[in-house]
Structure 1
């Protein structure tokens, strides 16, 4: 699996040579550890609903749908990672550990540690608790990774960037 990712990254690097706007790809590579295929998904993941834009069909675009997907993917993959990493632990331990990882405060901290707080496009209001924006953007980013790269790459990202910080 790791070899497959290396080949895909190599191909994406070659494609990147022809891209005019390289900066977003390089920025996300520094955060994710791989090059995005569809940069638009990652940019959308960082667009809070307070700064929604409309596409040519009049549909509002923001990170809420990716956040919805990322929340589900996060829960499944964290559960799977913990299930395999802690083979002798009981269900109660696994449930508590998963809950600790996916709780809003933890997601906010992980998002800040990744530097997402500096990249999120948002207009904070009195109705929007500022800190929840970070964790929501992280969930949206996970949704973008899953949509763009699939479960394998998403799992790799979570293990290296989230689980390792929490457990080790």
Structure 2
């Protein structure tokens, strides 16, 4: 059960993550961190070529881990890059997806960010079923917020379309 305090820290919005005014946005990146399709490509285009130059210095990222860069031309000061699992139906997929959210939040706290926006990690080209992906996202974020109750953090689930936004809103109501 998600407490009212935690619910008040989570917001579900439909829109373009690159336009959000928050301390950090999360990029659902590929292992190279050098740009790609979907949200990854949109973030790289909006942030500008300086992002690619900085990402080259990070030497990639393993599935479930997170790395941070400056936001460059975005309103967000930072971009946290995390690599979600390519869905295969194994228990490891769920653990790695939860790690994406947990590690991104830990990195945000380390850099003293107080607002962060997540896309639906792995729920696009990586084929993670939307219902399962949003459940893991909501559960992991709520658990993190509850265990870091002394830290002021606002989490935005930024959804590309109405179907994804509805999936998050449903999970928030069910908890």
TM-score (norm 2): 0.29
TM-score (norm 1): 0.29
Greater helix percent: which structure? Answer: 1
Greater strand percent: which structure? Answer: 2
> Higher Cα Rg: structure 1 or 2?
1
